[in-house]
A and B are shown apart, each in its own frame.
Chain A
């Protein structure tokens, strides 16, 4: 479980501490850094998994504008029985200036299992003994290149966890019905839903079956979600839906995924996330998941989410402005992001300040007073 995030000198985050629990709702006005948090986490993940270089992910413009500090710092503290801490320090070097990694460290129970400091990598074994030193390119993540070996199991446990960190903002307009291949990772906007579902349903038939059960309760006449052959490797994602008729038994007919309504596509995606992604070590950040779906659908999804987390573990951090979400979750799980003008983001636990519901409090702009 991700217990703490620390960000310094990244856009609106200055010396910013975010403690987290298993379930959390982040709320706050526009421009208080809620989505920027997801950008930061996506960038950290992309860096240490080798998907991109530091200067692509953390350009000079990502530094906090109103100060002129050269160094950016990020920390993730994760509990996986052992307590892990990833610390990243980035600065700029060369002409033209490029972002480089000054320090990339993974600690396990506050003892190093990996260090990449000033261009030198230090590897440690599972007993925290320093074993290997070698020079490495400052402009790439060395952590991303470490391969699993029996003697670095402790480090790999953290590396495996970070693969399960997902920051998503569902956008039905980008979701395609066509898939050319299986994809393990959902795209941040779930535009690759069909490809991700193709992989997930192959890997976890039981979850796929549970998803179909869920959808049959949500979409009238829903029969199945199918991947139909459309070429050597291509498949088209279709929902089979039957309209009940008094004259004859209902017969299902296919509707391509992109012919479903925006709300139906998002609901299918949300229930797919519940079934495939809410799992022991998974950490899922979802930005405004209620966008596009009807009000009566929100609370049942939240209840199901809560039940799945209780049953299977996992961590979910929701970001929302919606009154349904705020009123249902904020009293127990709310974290408020605030800024004074264009200053740095501050965070505090939601505390009721009046006889108003959280949504009414936020609507009046009174939450800032807490």
Chain B
């Protein structure tokens, strides 16, 4: 049997986040065999709490793995009704509490924080006009097809010299440089 090495770990809240990132990574040439998904599996509170609670241990695991092979952690956590900065501070604090050092500028650890939630990004990436205050979690326009479409757009927006349209929401625009941390 081929040794499957999952060198990209997705730490996500739910299936929509997983699918956006998986399809994005497929666009970058990765396949399901080198992606491992860690998402909420039950009653560990809300999805964002699961990501926060798991973040430090996943960072520690990636840091130990990186010394042996190329590995990358992509953590996605919705800002929800709070700010992106608050969420960023929360996961930084989780690292400090676990006595892990802060993320280095080139470290293959991505913190993706959609505001208000990933569905906002999905609709935005489908060229729909959205704001970051409304809750689009149950928006009927979010579907398996629109997620795939969004992943394709995200791929083009994270390429060098991409022309990002003015309709791009701030949280997504600010996160785009994070994708440079992925070492394909």
Contact = CB atoms under 8 A, between A and B. Distances in A.
A22 to B, nearest CB: 10
B86 to A, nearest CB: 24
Interface residues of A, number: 34
Q: Is the interface of A mostly helix, strand, loop or mixed?
A: helix
Nearest to B4: A296
B42 A352 contact: yes
B15 A303 contact: no
Contacts of B43: 352-356
Contacts of B45: 355
B170 interface: no
Contact of B36 (A220, A261, A299): A299
Interface in B1-43: 1-2, 4, 6, 14-15, 19, 22, 31-33, 35-37, 39-43
B144 interface: yes
Contacts of A353: 43
Nearest to A306: B19
Contacts of B4: 296-297, 300
B6 A296 contact: yes
B115 interface: no
B44 interface: yes
A57 B33 CA distance: 42
Contacts of A358: 41-42
Nearest to B38: A327
B52 interface: no
Interface in A292-349: 294, 296-297, 299-301, 303-304, 306-307, 310, 326-328, 330-332
Interface string A21-44: 000000000000000000000000
Nearest to B33: A300
Contacts of B87: none
B148 interface: yes
Interface in A189-230: 217-220
B1 A263 contact: yes
Interface in B128-161: 144-145, 148
B44 A299 contact: no
B41 A327 contact: yes
A301 B31 CA distance: 11
A357 B36 contact: no
A84 to B, nearest CB: 25
Q: Which 7 A-B pairs have the closest CB atoms?
A: A352-B43, A352-B42, A303-B32, A300-B32, A296-B4, A357-B41, A327-B41
Interface of B: 1-2, 4, 6, 14-15, 19, 22, 31-33, 35-37, 39-45, 144-145, 148
Interface of A: 217-220, 261, 263-264, 267, 294, 296-297, 299-301, 303-304, 306-307, 310, 326-328, 330-332, 352-359, 361
Given A219-B2, A300-B32, A352-B42, 17 more contacts: A218-B1, A219-B1, A220-B2, A299-B36, A300-B4, A301-B32, A303-B35, A303-B37, A332-B15, A354-B42, A355-B42, A355-B43, A356-B43, A357-B41, A357-B42, A357-B44, A358-B42
